[in-house]
A and B are shown apart, each in its own frame.
Chain A
Amino acid sequence: MSASLQKGINALKEVIDAPVASYFNSCVHCGLCAEACLFHLETGDPKYTPIHKLEPLRRVYEQEYTLLGRLKKMVGLSKAVTDDELEEWKELVYDSCTMCGRCSMVCPVGNDIVYMVRKLREGMAVSGHAPDGIKGATKRTVEIGGPMGLKWPAVANVIKKAEAATGETINVDKPGVDYLVLLSSMEIVNYPEYLEALVKIFKKAGITFTLASDAFEATNAGMQIGASDIAKVIVSRIINSAEKLGVKYVLSPECGHAYMAIRWEGPNLIGRPYKFEVRHVLEVLEELRQKGVLKMKDKFKEPLILHDPCQIVRRGGVLEAPEPLVQTVAENYIPIVDKQKWNWCCGGGGGASAIHTEEAEALRAKAFRIKKRQIEENGVNTMVTFCANCRIVIEEGFDHYEMNTQLLGLTELLAEHLED
């Protein structure tokens, strides 16, 4: 056995807990999870059945933590997990799983399948079986500061532009303010309007905030690849900066997995609760709306549907904020059938959008057909969402299918129609 494989198996042994054991013992192979997985539904290939994606983890569990499994292993009756197998599983654990968690919503015996995928990734990452695309993003985040290799000057540039556009001064590294605002690389590069939107809204609400030159990146490739030690290093930058500045809140940007990393995984990675509170930008906006601060001067007229990003809504628990916010700004909001915690993933979450092999991109395009149908069935030309990664993936999907649909970011849409 190679040293890296041994490390991988040890990592799996470490993450197996009572829920995992209970889940594997409960599975009756009913196959219903496949009916909740967009990769299975859009390809029809049974290998994309969510519980099947966990086979290596299941066998390590059986062979290490059950009496019968240990006996079978002793007499040579069990099949050991190999490097070849994990390499084969790479596609199942990363390319075709966005950790959207829809499978966990339908399992009749109550298996939290996505909880186990997250754990299996720990073993995949350590044993060297993560896809190159995510490896690269992780390496750049650790060495340079963000998954796209952006440094502070790029952020400073966005700040300068936002200052010019709004006529406001944006604080940097200022202690004692209400919020430390985080960005995701994709917002810095592709959606710089997000910061402008925030400046406008926060000014109106009288909220003070700062950016931090040593902690501007909210995303966490360490969590996506499944390496807790790396995820901890990355999230600690934010925690240290926020606690040093003494802010009350850290504002997670629209980006889905960033919220998951800071809000839910972070405290567990460092082993203690924070000295500040983490809030998602939509939670703050919804609170402002309820207080009557978020008043619109006019409304967006075209009919539109909403795409609920998995990590913020279904997995992150920001369930109630998005819809009222959309209704505030849109005159013709059409609620879709599978909305809120039942929404379908864009197909590129969980790090999948960073995988640029031909196969992975083709698979993503296939999976996107589910979003395409939602748009077509509702007869709209506009979709709104609130995750920078979803936006990239959805726009790629639009391009691929040559769709004439526009995609809007919710925070920017609100800012655009905000009363002056």
Chain B
Amino acid sequence: MNEMQFLTWVRGPGLDIAIGIFLLGVLWRLIEIYSLGRKVDVAPGRHRDGASGLHTVFRRSVPPPGMIKRSPVTYIGGYVFHIGLAIIVFLFEPHIILIRDLTGLSWPGLPSQVIDLVSVITLGAMLVVLADRIKNPVKRYLSTFADWFTWTLTFLPVLTGWMAVQHLLLPYTTMLALHILSVELLLIVLPFTKLFHAFTVFGSRWYLGKINGHRGVPV
């Protein structure tokens, strides 16, 4: 297989397989998790529950009082790389074109130079949170193979994408193929690892808000 054939494969069958596993995986995992249900709380609530679940979905995006000071790297590093990833994935012109081809939806993107800068910042932030995971006693204690593995799988698409655009190290075609391949690996693994928090974070925050809101505590 030469590099052109490699690129053709990752763009065609490879992408189809990855997206297929991703979609089925996400659907399966969501059913597996949320079909467990929960018992109705029969203790009369303090107030009407209202939108306490939804409130917490938003409120938890903001650090609680005093917490940034206790763990600045986690918060700042975390914000930077999450926002960075979102900008790169959804506002880079070639990605928007791919999404348009797949779904018919499109929106304006950012200039390539901006995406370049965001990519470098994102890679930097990811390296910082990795260093923190190695250095911070609690994070190191909690970390398993899956933590290092998922970090790598998240890092590689950003790195290879940036290198492809910059024409670094390998010919553009090869680097682009590697970039797409790394994204495919990420898609395949996402539903079955902690990366699935991208989906469950909303459910978790909602439950938390509901359970505590019932007792009258906004969390």
A residues contacting B by CB (< 8 A) are: 16-23, 25-32, 34-36, 40, 44, 46-47, 49, 51-52, 65-68, 104-112, 115, 263-268, 271-273, 277, 314-319, 337-338, 341-342
| B1-51 contacts to A (CB < 8 Å) | 28-29, 32-39, 41-44, 46
Cβ contact within 8 Å between A31 and B138? yes
- Closest residue of chain A to B215 (Cβ to Cβ) is A317
Cβ contact within 8 Å between A319 and B38? no
Q: Which residues of B are found within 8 Å of A317, using beta-carbon distances?
A: 46, 215-217
Q: Which of A29, A35, A263, A266 contacts B147 (CB 8 A)?
A: A29
Q: Which residues of B are found within 8 Å of A338, using beta-carbon distances?
A: 66
Cβ contact within 8 Å between B211 and A112? yes
A113 to chain B, nearest CB (A): 10
Chain B 93-124 interface mask (CB, 8 Å, partner A; 1/0): 00000000000000000000000000000000
B161 at interface, CB cutoff 8 A: no
Q: Which of B56, B63, B144, B200 contacts A26 (CB 8 A)?
A: B200
Q: Which residues of B are found within 8 Å of A66, using beta-carbon distances?
A: 32
Known pairs A25-B204, A317-B46 / 18 extra A-B pairs, C-beta < 8 Å: A19-B204, A22-B204, A22-B207, A23-B207, A27-B197, A30-B139, A35-B67, A35-B71, A46-B140, A104-B208, A104-B219, A108-B63, A109-B201, A264-B215, A271-B42, A319-B216, A342-B64, A342-B65
Q: Which of A23, A65, A315 contacts B32 (CB 8 A)?
A: A65
Q: Which residues of A are found within 8 Å of B138, using beta-carbon distances?
A: 31, 34, 40, 46, 49
Contacts A25-B29, A30-B139 hold; do A18 and B194 have CB atoms under 8 A apart?
no
Cβ contact within 8 Å between A32 and B74? yes
Q: Give the most central of B71, B78, B142, B205: most A CB within 10 Å.
A: B142
Q: Which residues of A are found within 8 Å of B28, using beta-carbon distances?
A: 67
| B164-219 contacts to A (CB < 8 Å) | 192, 194, 196-197, 200-201, 203-209, 211-212, 215-217, 219
Contacts A68-B192, A110-B56, A317-B217 hold; do A32 and B71 have CB atoms under 8 A apart?
yes
In the bound complex, CA of A218 to CA of B196 (Å): 43
Cβ contact within 8 Å between A273 and B201? no
Q: Which residues of A are found within 8 Å of B215, using beta-carbon distances?
A: 264, 315-317
In the bound complex, CA of A16 to CA of B205 (Å): 17
Q: Which of A18, A31, A263, A318 contacts B38 (CB 8 A)?
A: A18
A269 to chain B, nearest CB (A): 10
Cβ contact within 8 Å between B200 and A115? no
A30 to chain B, nearest CB (A): 6
Cβ contact within 8 Å between A35 and B34? no
Q: Which residues of B are found within 8 Å of A28, using beta-carbon distances?
A: 194, 197
A92 to chain B, nearest CB (A): 13
In the bound complex, CA of A35 to CA of B63 (Å): 13
B136 at interface, CB cutoff 8 A: yes
In the bound complex, CA of A208 to CA of B97 (Å): 74
A143 to chain B, nearest CB (A): 28
- Closest residue of chain A to B62 (Cβ to Cβ) is A108
Q: Which residues of B are found within 8 Å of A40, using beta-carbon distances?
A: 138
In the bound complex, CA of A104 to CA of B217 (Å): 12
Q: Which residues of A are found within 8 Å of B141, using beta-carbon distances?
A: 46-47, 49, 52
Q: Which residues of A are found within 8 Å of B137, using beta-carbon distances?
A: 44, 46
A24 to chain B, nearest CB (A): 9
Q: Which residues of A are found within 8 Å of B78, using beta-carbon distances?
A: 30, 108
Cβ contact within 8 Å between B207 and A112? yes
Cβ contact within 8 Å between B43 and A263? yes
Q: Which residues of B are found within 8 Å of A112, using beta-carbon distances?
A: 204, 207-208, 211-212
- Closest residue of chain A to B44 (Cβ to Cβ) is A273
Q: Which residues of B are found within 8 Å of A271, using beta-carbon distances?
A: 42
Q: Which of A16, A32, A51, A265 contacts B67 (CB 8 A)?
A: A32
Cβ contact within 8 Å between B142 and A18? no
Q: Which residues of B are found within 8 Å of A265, using beta-carbon distances?
A: 43
Q: Which residues of A are found within 8 Å of B42, using beta-carbon distances?
A: 267-268, 271-273
Q: Can you list 7 contacts pairing A with B, beta carbon distance less than 8 Å?
A: A25-B197, A26-B203, A28-B197, A29-B143, A106-B64, A112-B211, A268-B43
